[in-house]
Amino acid sequence: MLAVDATLLIVFFIVWILLFTLKKVFFKPFRNIMARREETIESNLKASEEAKNQYETNIRKVEDSLKAARLAAKETQEQFTADALREKEQMLLEIGQECRAKVNEAKEQLEKKVEELKKDLASESKVLSEKIEQRLIH
């Protein structure tokens, strides 16, 4: 059987001293390191979550900006197209008016020329008729 004597008490005190020493020297620093590690992990997780949220917010802003830019570009293109069509219509109208004016001017010149030619023909016909009359009479 086991005998309880003073060595048991000494071993008991040595084990308690060893346990206290290990607790101060090994377990407490180990727990502190583990606690700091967990805090670092938690802060890194929070930071990554915040970065992810900020990234998603920035992506949404960029997509909204792109939509707005595309819409503005489309509106600008439509505006330029409408302006070009109005300008084309205006140019066609002006060209049409110029052409009508030139045609009218050419008609007037032709009418004047026809009148001149009629006068020349009338005067020449008189001269020719007189020549014919003189030949017939002679």
Structure-derived torsion over alpha carbons of residues 63, 65, 70, 72, reported in degrees to the nearest 10: 160
pLDDT band at 90 (very low <50, low <70, confident <90, very high): very high
Six-digit token string for 46: 């929070």
* pTM tops 0.75, yes or no: no
Helix/strand/coil percent split, the chain, to 5 = 95, 0, 5
Span 38-58, average pLDDT: 97
The whole-angstrom separation of Cα 93 and Cα 98 is: 9
